[in-house]
Structure 1
Amino acid sequence: MGVVYYGNYMRLFEIGRTELLRSAGLPYVELESEGYLLPVLEAHAEYILPARYDDMLDIITNYEIEHSPVIVLRYEIRRNSDTLARGWTRHTFVSASGFKPVRPPQRFFDAMTSYNQPLGA
């Protein structure tokens, strides 16, 4: 068929999430080493146009605090100026030791506030 399998958009969202944290100066591996995990509570995707195999894609990722410790990450997958998909994931911060909800570390807020840009920017 030559188009990207719909389930792979969730992988693209995960790449966007990981790169957002890395670009903000807070790699996910550091959060884990400090005892924080960020599991997905809910995920949604809207497919607008198909991505084709070997397309060069941009993943635009933004976040918002829903209510601490829950955050929402919003994504757009683009090929040039075309939006191919949009979606979001809800996450909560939990402790690695007991998998209980915990408040995000202050350095998460500091890093994300200084990095955050509106979608479409």
Structure 2
Amino acid sequence: MEIRVYYEDTDAGGVVYYSNYLKYFERGRTEYLRDRGFSVAEMAQRGFVFPVVHLEISYRAPALHDDLLKVETALLEIGRSSITVAQKVLRAIDGKLLVEGKVKLACVGSNMKPKRLPEEIIQALL
């Protein structure tokens, strides 16, 4: 998935503000699921919500205003009620690694209590 860096994404120095990478990761995960046939909104309507419960992130190099970025998402682990993914943000023009992270999502119901992952998601992700 590609994302263009807009002025609003940057700090006073024209560098992407660090917390915006979390938004880029979120978009990457949403599109990762969409590419496998799942809409996050539709899953929420069915009573399956996926909050982030753990995050590790390393900032390697800055992205700048007007850069085109590529967000990559890869499955690391599936549990009974969790999914862990590895995510990277690279500069599209040269493939330079800018940010990498590991994100664990819990599967919970609308009551925010753990819920077993639907079998169709497990099968689609494997």
Q: Aligned to 1:64, what secondary structure does the other structure show?
A: strand
C-alpha deviation, 1:75, in angstroms: 0.4
Pick from 61, 68, 87: which aligns with 1:56?
Answer: 68
Distance 2:107 2:97 in 1: 30
Q: Which runs of 5+ in 2 are unaligned?
A: 1-12
Pick from 22, 39, 43: which aligns with 1:10?
Answer: 22
Runs of 4+ in 1 over 2 A off after TM superposition: 64-67
Pick from 113, 116, 126: which aligns with 1:100?
Answer: 113
CA contact (8 A) 2:78 2:122 kept: no
Length-normalised TM-score, structure 1:
0.87
Distance 2:79 2:119 in 1: 15
Length-normalised TM-score, structure 2:
0.83
Distance 1:44 1:8 in 2: 15
Moved more, 61-70 or 22-31: 61-70
Residue 105 of structure 2 corresponds to residue 91 of structure 1: yes
C-alpha deviation, 1:53, in angstroms: 1.1
Q: How many residues are matched?
A: 112
Distance 1:28 1:71 in 2: 14
Q: Which runs of 5+ in 1 are unaligned?
A: 114-121
Q: CA RMSD in A?
A: 1.2
Residue 34 of structure 2 corresponds to residue 31 of structure 1: no
Q: Report % sequence identity.
A: 33
C-alpha deviation, 1:64, in angstroms: 2.8
